[in-house]
Copies of this chain bind each other. A is one copy, B any other.
Amino acid sequence: MLLSKSCVYGLRAALFLANQEHGKFIPIRQMSDKLEISFHFLTKILQQLTAEGILESFKGPNGGVRLIKRGEQIPLIDVVLAIDGSELLTECALGLPGCGVKEPCPLHDKWAEARDGIRSMLEESTLTELVQKGRDENLRLTSENGFDILFEVKEGV
């Protein structure tokens, strides 16, 4: 997989948060229920996002987790880097350790190009954009559910 499972879960959670009222703390349990991700597992992932300065958390009743910046200002790449690191954007197509630009292997040019495509995809999309598009076109977010699961919460349906 291009992105690790942790990373995908982190992205989904981030989309979920971007769709909430900004500044409100959302309990992880609520997210894990809605997104159908193991609570404990999601917890670990969100801890990483908190450590990386993407989320902030608050303990106790009415506590939870929220985005530090507004969804408009968070490109997907931030979440990906926080969880999967930069390997995806720097790794070698042929899996050779210790690659240096000085002695590139034959695939390097084309691979770098394809990799940049991935990078720009992640840099140019923000959480809010994705939520917006998901809402407008009623796209899917989990295998079973579409973005409606996000709105249920917000709109109290």
Interface residues of A (CB under 8 A from B): 1-3, 5, 8, 11-12, 76, 91, 93-99, 103-107, 110-111, 113-114, 117-118, 120-121, 124-125, 129-130, 133-134, 137-143, 146
Decide: A103 and B146 in contact? CB cutoff 8 A. Answer: yes
In-complex Cβ contact of A125 among B107, B140, B146 (8 A): B107
In-complex Cβ contact of A113 among B97, B121, B146 (8 A): B121
Closest to A135 in B: B106
Decide: A105 and B139 in contact? CB cutoff 8 A. Answer: yes
Decide: B11 and A94 in contact? CB cutoff 8 A. Answer: yes
Can you tell how many copies of this chain the complex includes?
A: 2
In-complex Cβ contact of A96 among B76, B94, B134, B140 (8 A): B140
Decide: B107 and A142 in contact? CB cutoff 8 A. Answer: no
In-complex Cβ contact of A130 among B11, B104, B106, B139 (8 A): B106
| 17 A/B residue pairs, CB under 8 Å, sorted by A | A2-B2, A2-B91, A2-B93, A3-B93, A76-B107, A93-B121, A96-B141, A96-B143, A103-B139, A105-B139, A105-B140, A110-B120, A110-B121, A111-B121, A113-B121, A114-B117, A114-B118
